[in-house]
Structure 1
């Protein structure tokens, strides 16, 4: 069996978008033929929340959709992540620019926008819900759900390349 595909979801603080993205991606992958063949993690470009659980609103949003992310803990993106993960799936353009600024230019092709890579929309971003309320978290969640479905479809379509 081939090595698993490794995906890293990246946002700013790793307490809202990226842990929600990690949670929904894991749930979709576990419910698909990709189970056990894809590893998912998340990180933030900033270090403010390292070691902390996701924002309570992110935990509540995920829980409303049947996904538990309360056990996750924030960590900061590291240069080594670009060598460890096959894809660095960034929530927005600022995250993408920060990631690319920290990694070897030869690995820039591994860093991309999550929504674009998943087929949701070219150049589209997951807005940061941190300063908002339930509506903003639900909006981000809905985009992350669509992205997760797109990621699963993309990986299933290309699985012959990594068998």
Structure 2
């Protein structure tokens, strides 16, 4: 069976999207799924290319026993559109930037959306950027809840086929 591939996207790919990548990988490892789920992350800006996740992200992941081993920042690229089943942007600005990278087709199949669309009951449209706000524990809370909602969506989508 072909793998379900998930790409999380934020600005610099050192805080929110690698946190989501690590948490989603962790949650997927805990499940016995009849299909593989591959997870990656990327950024829309090139300031941190090749860097490991931000110290605040690493600290909160360590506190929750979530591995981020081997993760390095990279840029989102046009070919990612065809390579991933779901492309989840951490905020609306990232969504706009991703649309600019992909240039066409992204509104036709519903695979590109914002992370907080997974958590409409929260009443928040964007995952706040802890790089500027320092609120890594709150972002982790959103990310963990959203990744669980994403896994439920993937399972439901797989049943629908």
Question: Structure 2 length normalisation: TM-score?
Answer: 0.90
- Corresponding residue for 1:46? 45
Q: How many residues align?
A: 159
* 1:118 and 1:151 in contact (8 A); partners too: no
- Corresponding residue for 2:139? 140
* 2:4 and 2:35 in contact (8 A); partners too: no
Residues 21-36 of structure 1 aligned to structure 2 (within 5 Å): 21-34=20-33
Q: Which of structure 1's runs of 4+ aligned residues deviate more than 6 A?
A: none
Larger CA deviation: 149-158 vs 52-61: 149-158
Residues 91-102 of structure 1 aligned to structure 2 (within 5 Å): 91-102=90-101
Shift of 1:143: 0.2
Structure 1 residues without counterparts, runs of 5 or longer: none
- Corresponding residue for 2:106? 107
- Cα deviations by residue, 1:50-109 (Å, 9 ceiling, x for unpaired): 101011111011110110214210000101111111111000000000001111321333
Structure 2 residues without counterparts, runs of 5 or longer: none
* 1:17 and 1:140 in contact (8 A); partners too: yes
Shift of 1:115: 2.1
CA RMSD of aligned residues (A): 1.8
Q: Secondary structure at the match of 1:131?
A: helix
Question: Structure 1 length normalisation: TM-score?
Answer: 0.89
